[in-house]
């Protein structure tokens, strides 16, 4: 909302920011979205960049997954700590905006025109809430970003009970690491072994995360100790030099998943864990929350500026609720593939080591861990009149797809990418870019010219000419921003 210049207030129950490093990976799609609101680079400055994932089965290296050819200009996954990420985001709010801490939302009353929110105070020595002094505030829209326990979703009848997957649990520690493998913070390691699944991944400030997903029968139902974690790592990984020191965070948990019945009720919206509980497969929980928040932010900004019809805001819930339902299914599949492996299947996989198609899918339930293929084909905002009619367009970009990125040049010869031009390069924080491709056909220019003229009255549609043919001076589109795609890269990726 800060990025879009909308006035807002954020109430946080806790008086102090969290120091838990919980969500630590920022995948490519998240980085693109965070860049669209101008905060990605500040987060990258406090992150390690990783492009390599090693998968090891029963101590035998199986495969190396590389993110460098993902189709995003953010080819590295960034690793930080959720506490660091939250601080960076809070610092980016800008003058006059801040997270108001020690302010629990106690109740809400929504009507057709707005929402009344009761906000209490937490006293200095703890979590004691004062309802007597609660402030009643009226707003036009309310966003419940209040996490897994979700006061807001309960108040509007969107509560859900996550399903617990019995018989297994996860324990983890974030600490300094010494072992025989690299400690350059640019790689991840996943270990499959007969009794479970383990991982070693960068966090931030010299810290690595070690986790084990295993049957809960042999796992104490409490946070682990450092000695327990190191001893188990030595057994599983087979490296007697494996040592961890200076732990910053321990965690133990059961596996739960679920999605709220909807993401909107009247003028109240849910984002992040308030709307979903995700399994830890592929590290998607916090990332999905970024997606929710950015997707709701521009819609609210356009709506509050009276710059769109109701369908724009109405499209948030079906888009993001649908995405979470699909993500939940993918993660559940990945969970069962990981945790219900048979020794026979593991042995078969080992014999074809290096030749396993879709290994990421087999391990994580889906190969698109960066969420770059996430599309909103069924969104109320997506209308596609071509794809189904013309089978030759198979594989082409469809309405609702993420626009593929591509390298191009400006008229003055500077190198840019299509995404840099889509995400608000002209200082406007919302609206649509109309990409007008000439299709390598100089004869198409008259049609493009007519199309651009047809949207001239809509200030929120900004045309961008993408020309594979050099530009003649007199085609009636001189005033339109123009990029050259003389090598056809953008034409090919968006064909």
Where do contacts with ligand FAD occur on this chain (CB under 6 A)? 11-14, 22-25, 82, 104-105, 145-148, 151, 251, 253, 272-274, 280, 283-287, 289
| Closest distance of CB 106 from ligand FAD, Å | 7
Question: What span, in angstroms and rounded, lies between the C-alpha atoms of 17 and 8?
Answer: 19
Bridge partner residues of 79 (DSSP): 25, 48
Secondary element (H or E) of residue 243: strand 243-259
CB of 408 to ligand FAD, least distance (A): 32
**Min separation Cβ 303 and ligand FAD, Å:** 22
Query: Nearer to ligand FAD by C-beta: 104 or 334?
Result: 104
Quote the radius of gyration of the chain (alpha carbons, Å). Answer: 25
Question: What is the closest distance, in whole angstroms, from the C-beta atom of residue 282 to ligand FAD in the complex?
Answer: 8
Neighbours of 251 (CB within 10 A): 16
Q: How far is the CB of 301 from ligand FAD (least distance, A)?
A: 20
Q: Of 12 and 421, which has the nearer Cβ to ligand FAD?
A: 12
State the burial class of residue 472 (Cβ atoms within 10 Å of its Cβ: 0-12, 13-18, 19+).
exposed
CA distance 112 to 302: 19
Residue whose CB is nearest to ligand FAD in the complex, by number: 272
Nearest CB to ligand FAD, comparing residues 57 and 173: 173
**Choice between 11 and 242, CB closer to ligand FAD:** 11
Shortest CA distance to 197 belongs to which of 232, 165, 166, 240? 232
Judged by CB, which is closer to ligand FAD: 85, or 436? 85
Residue 422 backbone phi and psi in degrees, to 5: -80, -40
Which residues in 178-213 are b (16+ Cβ under 10 Å) and which e? ebebeeebebbbbbbbeebbbbbbbbbeebbbbbbb
341 three-state secondary structure: coil
Output 233 or 448, the one with its CB closest to ligand FAD: 233
Q: Please, what is the minimum distance in Å from the beta carbon of residue 440 to ligand FAD?
A: 41
Helix axes 28-36, 285-304, angle to 10 degrees: 30
| Secondary structure (DSSP) of 340-360 | T--HHHHHHHHHTTT--TTHH
List phi, psi (to 5°) of 76.
-95, 140
In the complex, least distance from residue 211 CB atom to ligand FAD, rounded to whole angstroms: 8
Q: CB of 390: closest distance to ligand FAD in angstroms?
A: 38
Tell me whether residue 10 or residue 403 sits nearer to ligand FAD (CB atom). Answer: 10
Residue 371 CA from chain centroid, whole number = 7
Within 13 Å and on the Cβ side, how many CA atoms surround 201?
28
Q: Which is nearer to ligand FAD, 224 or 289 (CB)?
A: 289
**Among residues 32 and 146, whose Cβ is nearest to ligand FAD?**
146
Q: In angstroms, give the least distance from the CB of 179 to ligand FAD.
A: 21
Burial of residue 118 (number of CB atoms within 10 Å: 0-12, 13-18, 19+): middle
CB of 488 to ligand FAD, least distance (A): 36
For ligand FAD, the closer CB: 326 or 411: 326
> Residues in the chain, how many?
495
Q: Is 313 helix (H, G, I), strand (E, B) or coil?
A: helix
């Amino acid at each position: 909302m800060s990025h879009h210049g909308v006035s807002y207030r954020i109430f946080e129950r806790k008086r102090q920011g969290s120091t838990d490093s919980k969500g630590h990976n920022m995948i490519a799609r998240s980085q693109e979205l965070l860049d669209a609101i101008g905060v990605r680079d500040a987060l990258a400055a406090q992150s390690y960049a990783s492009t390599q994932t090693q998968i090891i089965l029963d101590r035998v290296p199986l495969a190396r997954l590389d993110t460098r050819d993902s189709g995003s200009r953010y080819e590295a996954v960034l690793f930080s700590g959720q506490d660091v990420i939250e601080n960076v985001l809070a610092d980016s709010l800008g003058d006059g905006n801040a997270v108001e801490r020690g302010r629990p939302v106690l109740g809400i009353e929504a009507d057709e025109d707005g929402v009344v929110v009761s906000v209490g105070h937490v006293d200095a020595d703890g979590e004691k809430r004062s309802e007597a002094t609660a402030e009643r505030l009226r707003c036009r829209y309310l966003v419940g970003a209040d996490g897994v326990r979700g006061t807001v979703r309960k108040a509007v009848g969107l509560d859900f009970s996550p399903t617990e997957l019995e018989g297994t649990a996860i324990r983890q520690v974030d600490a300094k690491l010494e072992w025989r493998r690299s400690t350059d913070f640019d790689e991840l390691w996943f270990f499959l072994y007969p009794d479970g699944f383990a991982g070693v991944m960068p966090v931030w400030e010299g810290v690595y995360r070690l986790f084990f997903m295993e049957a809960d029968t042999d796992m104490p139902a409490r946070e682990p100790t450092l000695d327990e974690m190191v001893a188990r790592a030595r057994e599983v990984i087979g490296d007697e030099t494996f040592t961890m020191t200076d732990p910053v965070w321990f965690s133990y948990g059961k596996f739960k998943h679920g999605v709220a019945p909807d993401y909107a009720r009247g003028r109240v919206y849910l984002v992040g864990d308030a709307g979903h509980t995700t399994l830890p497969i592929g590290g998607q929980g916090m990332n999905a929350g970024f997606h929710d928040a950015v997707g709701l932010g521009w819609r609210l900004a356009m709506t509050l500026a009276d710059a769109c019809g109701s369908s724009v805001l109405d499209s948030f819930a079906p888009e993001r609720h649908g995405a979470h339902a699909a993500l939940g299914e993918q993660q559940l599949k990945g969970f069962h593939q990981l945790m219900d492996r048979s020794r026979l299947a593991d042995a078969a996989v080992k014999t074809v080591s290096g030749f396993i198609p879709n290994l990421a899918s087999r391990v994580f339930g889906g190969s698109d861990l960066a969420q770059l293929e996430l599309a909103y084909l069924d969104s109320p905002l997506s209308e596609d009149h071509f794809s189904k009619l013309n089978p030759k367009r198979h594989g082409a970009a469809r309405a609702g797809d993420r626009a593929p990125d591509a390298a191009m040049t400006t008229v003055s010869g500077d190198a840019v990418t299509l995404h840099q031009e889509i995400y608000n390069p002209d200082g406007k924080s919302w609206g649509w870019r109309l990409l007008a491709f000439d299709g390598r056909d100089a004869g198409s220019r008259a049609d493009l010219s007519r199309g651009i003229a047809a949207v001239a009255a809509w200030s929120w549609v900004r045309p961008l000419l993408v020309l594979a043919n050099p530009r003649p001076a007199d085609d009636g589109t001189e005033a339109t921003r123009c990029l050259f795609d003389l090598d056809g890269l953008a034409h090919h990726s968006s064909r």
